[in-house]
Structure 1
Amino acid sequence: MFLILLNGVFFRLAPLFFFLPFLNNGIISPSIRIPVIFLVASGLITSGKVDIGSSVFEHVYFLMFKEIIVGLLLSFCLSLPFWIFHAVGSIIDNQRGATLSSSIDPANGVDTSELAKFFNLFSAVVFLYSGGMVFILESIQLSYNICPLFSQCSFRVSNILTFLTLLASQAVILASPVMIVLLLSEVLLGVLSRFAPQMNAFSVSLTIKSLLAIFIIFICSSTIYFSKVQFFLGEHKFFTNLFVR
């Protein structure tokens, strides 16, 4: 009985350790991560209401699959701020023409730009500094209150479009100050190239746009970006209610 409960909690927690940038393969090796998942799962066995009847043993594989789905949806929601800032860095690097420096990000395992990796690590640091681990544990416990272990619950699949819209819109909004400045610099460089073609203004455009982008990012980091990560820390119900009800 204890092993069934432990495995049920494990299947809900495991996706979090694969998707969150500070808990996945690039940061924690599998030999350490799996015991940590079981250790955390053993402390969350009593979270929420657990109704174990004869039907649990008859449909144990279906219920375990349900726990995996809940864990995946919960990990998607909790990874939203990191994905948003990763997209912000990719958008800014694309606008300043620095996507040629893309490399494999060990924290995500994907081909990404340098600024995207920086923003991803920045959001992770702010998240952990602001009590992110407590937020994750509280969100997991709230998910058990909404969808208890080995119980039937429905999923809001229609909210996938809302999730993707929120991801794209927030990324564009956060990148918009830098995008506006880069657009104005592009216009000024075009005017300069038109009246002084011998200067070859576009040969130094990457340097100029990079300096402007870093300057705007430095201004926004302590105000807009920092507060945006902290905003997600107060949205427990948003994360857990987005897909599960």
Structure 2
Amino acid sequence: MNGLSDLILAFSLCLPRFFVALILIPGFAKQLLGGAVIRNSIAAALALPLLPSVIPHLDEVQSNAMLIGLIAKEAVIGLFIGFISAIPFWAIESAGFVIDNQRGASMASTLNPLSGDQTSPLGILFNHAGTSLFFITGSVLLWLSAFYKTFLLWPMTDFPPQLVFHSVTLVFESFSELMNITWRLAAPAVITMFLSEFGLGLMNRFTPQMNVFFLAMPIKSGIALLVLLLYISLFFDAFLLELADIFLLTEQLKAWLP
């Protein structure tokens, strides 16, 4: 019976980091997997290999209060890991939304099954494509390797890492980086649409009888799709470069949680 209780205690320490991180990553969305039960099962399966390394250290957990604190610490670290890992996916979805907003197609916003929020058609397309690349290129295996290394950095039975003001600053810098990635991905299409809109404005200036508003949306949509076709390979190459940053989870977490 004591062995069973140790197993349950160890599992309660192994699970939270995976459980919280997978909630934020679009590739493990419950809408995609068919329910939260499947996602939770994946988190449990990923946590199982850690049990043999945790059980010998359970004597360090001296009270229920310490156990609750360690579980909360694991959840916070999982939150940071999930946030860092989700940034490239949020950026590529936001790039699609920015392009659609510029061409006037944001009115067609619908629910994205991977993120559970409202976004535009191109946002959904890019998010699905980015998630597919995450799995088919083997990036998910590199991500898992980086994830498991975080347990070497902060073992589950160690005292919670120290949160400092610098950690909060880095969180805001990550939001800034999210916007930078978004605009870098969307810039070619947005700039060409702006130039076409500027040209339509000049046409309307010299030919007022022309209904520029009626022509603007199809013209900008055509130009945006043409530009996307021309640089789509560079678009996803840039996404994969940003995706590579999440393989450096341990280095980023060292800066966030010293």
By how many angstroms is 1:48 displaced?
A: 8.9
The residue aligned with 2:205 is: 194
CA distance in structure 2 between the partners assigned to 1:137 and 1:50 by the alignment: 24
Instruction: Tell me which amino acid in the other structure corresponds to 2:140.
Output: M
Match of 1:184 among 195, 199, 214: 195
The residue aligned with 2:59 is: 53
**Would the alpha carbon gap of residues 179 and 67 (structure 1) be closer, same or farther in structure 2, given more than 3 Å must change?**
same
**Would the alpha carbon gap of residues 54 and 125 (structure 1) be closer, same or farther in structure 2, given more than 3 Å must change?**
closer
Equivalent pairs, count: 245
The residue aligned with 2:256 is: 243
By how many angstroms is 1:120 displaced?
A: 0.8
Instruction: Tell me which amino acid in the other structure corresponds to 1:36.
Output: I
2:44 maps to 1:38: yes
| Structural RMSD (CA) | 2.1
Structure 1 gap ranges (5+):
none
Q: Check whether the contact 1:81–1:232 (CA below 8 A) recurs between aligned residues.
A: yes
**Would the alpha carbon gap of residues 103 and 231 (structure 1) be closer, same or farther in structure 2, given more than 3 Å must change?**
closer
Match of 2:21 among 16, 20, 24: 16
By how many angstroms is 1:97 displaced?
A: 1.3
Match of 2:30 among 14, 25, 30: 25
By how many angstroms is 1:231 displaced?
A: 4.2
**Per-residue Cα deviation, 1:15-66 (whole angstroms, up to 9, x for no partner):** 2321111211111112322222212210233569974334443410011011
What is the TM-score with the length of structure 1 in the denominator? 0.91
**Would the alpha carbon gap of residues 235 and 36 (structure 1) be closer, same or farther in structure 2, given more than 3 Å must change?**
closer
Which is further off, 108-117 or 62-71?
108-117
By how many angstroms is 1:234 displaced?
A: 5.3
Q: Check whether the contact 1:15–1:75 (CA below 8 A) recurs between aligned residues.
A: yes
The residue aligned with 2:10 is: 5
Q: Check whether the contact 1:56–1:150 (CA below 8 A) recurs between aligned residues.
A: no
Structure 2 gap ranges (5+):
1-5
Q: Check whether the contact 2:31–2:114 (CA below 8 A) recurs between aligned residues.
A: yes
Q: Secondary structure at the match of 1:34?
A: helix
Q: 1:61-72 alignment to 2 at 5 Å?
A: 61-72=68-79
**Per-residue Cα deviation, 1:53-82 (whole angstroms, up to 9, x for no partner):** 344434100110110001011000111110
The residue aligned with 2:218 is: 207
The residue aligned with 2:3 is: none
Q: 1:37-116 alignment to 2 at 5 Å?
A: 37-46=43-52, 51-58=57-64, 59-116=66-123
- Give the structure with the larger helix fraction: 2
Higher relative contact order (CA 8 A, sep 6+): 1
Q: Secondary structure at the match of 1:154?
A: coil
Q: Check whether the contact 2:10–2:58 (CA below 8 A) recurs between aligned residues.
A: no
Instruction: Tell me which amino acid in the other structure corresponds to 2:153.
Output: I
**Identity rate of aligned residues, in percent?**
24
